[in-house]
Every structure is written in C-alpha cells, then in structure tokens.
Amino acid sequence: MTKKFIPFSKPIDLTRSEMLRRSAEFYEFMKSRRTIREFSNEEVSQEVIDNCLKTAGTAPSGANQQPWYFVIIRDSSIKAQIREAAEEEERNFYAGRAGDSWLEALEPLGTNADKPFLETAPVLIAIFEQKYAIDEQGNKTKHYYAKESVGIATGVLITALHNVGLVTITHTPSPMNFLTKILKRPEGEKPFLLLVVGHPAEDVEVPDIDKKSLKDISSQF
C-alpha cells in the first residue's frame, strides 16, 4: 500500500496557565470515577453509547489495525444467559480456583460469585480482541499488539462513559469463552472483558480505597 500524508493542525492550543488548569481539572474529574457493583435500572440512550463507542474507536492501535469489537447487550434473555455462565465460573473461582493469595487481595473489595449487575444494569458491552483478521478465503492476517490496543481502547471507552456521568464495572469472569458462544463471535476473536454500564443504585457504597501517590507510580531522570 502506498503511503499518503495529509496536513495536521493542532486541535487545541492553550497558554501555559490554561494547560495547567485543564490538567488539574481533568485529574479531579477522573479521580471521581469509581467502579460500581450495584446498578439502578435507569435506561441509557443508544446514541450516547454509540458516541462513546466511536470515541473508543479513536484509540491508537498497532499498525492502525483497530483490533477491537464491541457487542452491546440490552436483551434480558441474553443478559440472563451471560449471568448464569459468568456466575458458574465465578463460583469455581471463589471456591478455590483463585488460590488463597488472590482471594486475599480481593478481600478489601468485598466481591463474591454473585453478579446481579449482569441483569440489572441496562447495558453490557462485551469487548473482543481480534487476534487476527480472516478474509472470505480464510486467509489470516496477524494483528500486532492486539491486546495492548484493545486495552487502550477500553480505557478510552471507560473515560468517555465517565464523561457523561455513567458508571461501569470492568468484569472479567475467567475463562470468558462463553461470551464467544452466546454472542456468536467468529474465530480469531477472544473475549477481552465485559464492561457493565449504567447508573448507580441509590445509596450505593464503594470500598474505601486509595490510589498510589505520584511518587509511587513514577520517577524522573
């Protein structure tokens, strides 16, 4: 393929003080995001979800291969199937498959095998990683850095949803192969995570946990 370049113009141009103010404001806003495990049944418009998905689709990816696929689930019978399959895996996980140290790490979060949010939340977004593309002749094209790319797109999606006041939980029942079957996804795609989206239940509480300090997550030369 021949390369083609077009001019780029800076989307925003800020003074030093505007830059400082915006960076601090955005930090404050992002700090207010919390993972929520109890949802109300308040609806979320598809237009909003579509805009957030388009935002996720702007993420950078290896060789611009955009190796992500999002399945939106609103149908209650599909949600029920997903909940049943996820809870089966979770029961095994909490009954021992996780191992003692993993369960100990989860203790402060108060999680368990029951996942009612998979049915109460209005929207589930199953995110798939396309490990390779496959054309009509069955030829496979490997995707480079697929997992990293889907991870970045998922981060952008979570940020976009937070930006409109929606709450999420990144749910990762393990293994998640049941999503491929229930959602009839093709070969080459691997479930990456299940993002549960909606509004928080009334009076919901969150774990009293902190984020690491700047000093603990960074250093300078």
Q: Give the footprint of ligand IYR on this chain (CB under 6 A).
A: 90, 93, 106, 109, 111, 171-173
C-alpha to C-alpha distance for 38 and 201, rounded to whole angstroms: 5
Name the residue nearer to ligand IYR (CB basis): 58 or 174. Answer: 174
C-alpha to C-alpha distance for 42 and 44, rounded to whole angstroms: 7
Closest residue to bound ligand IYR by CB: 111
Q: 138: exposed, middle or buried (C-beta count within 10 Å: 0-12, 13-18, 19+)?
A: exposed
Smallest separation (angstroms) from ligand IYR to the CB of 221: 32
Smallest separation (angstroms) from ligand IYR to the CB of 98: 7
Name the residue nearer to ligand IYR (CB basis): 68 or 93. Answer: 93
C-alpha to C-alpha distance for 210 and 34, rounded to whole angstroms: 11
Task: Judge contact between 52 and 131, C-beta under 8 A.
Answer: no
Is residue 44 helix, strand or coil? coil
Smallest separation (angstroms) from ligand IYR to the CB of 201: 17
Smallest separation (angstroms) from ligand IYR to the CB of 111: 4
Name the residue nearer to ligand IYR (CB basis): 65 or 81. Answer: 81
Name the residue nearer to ligand IYR (CB basis): 61 or 89. Answer: 89
Smallest separation (angstroms) from ligand IYR to the CB of 78: 19
Helix crossing, 146-163 with 16-31: angle to 10°? 90
Residues facing 71 on adjacent strands: 126
Name the residue nearer to ligand IYR (CB basis): 59 or 106. Answer: 106
C-alpha to C-alpha distance for 175 and 153, rounded to whole angstroms: 21
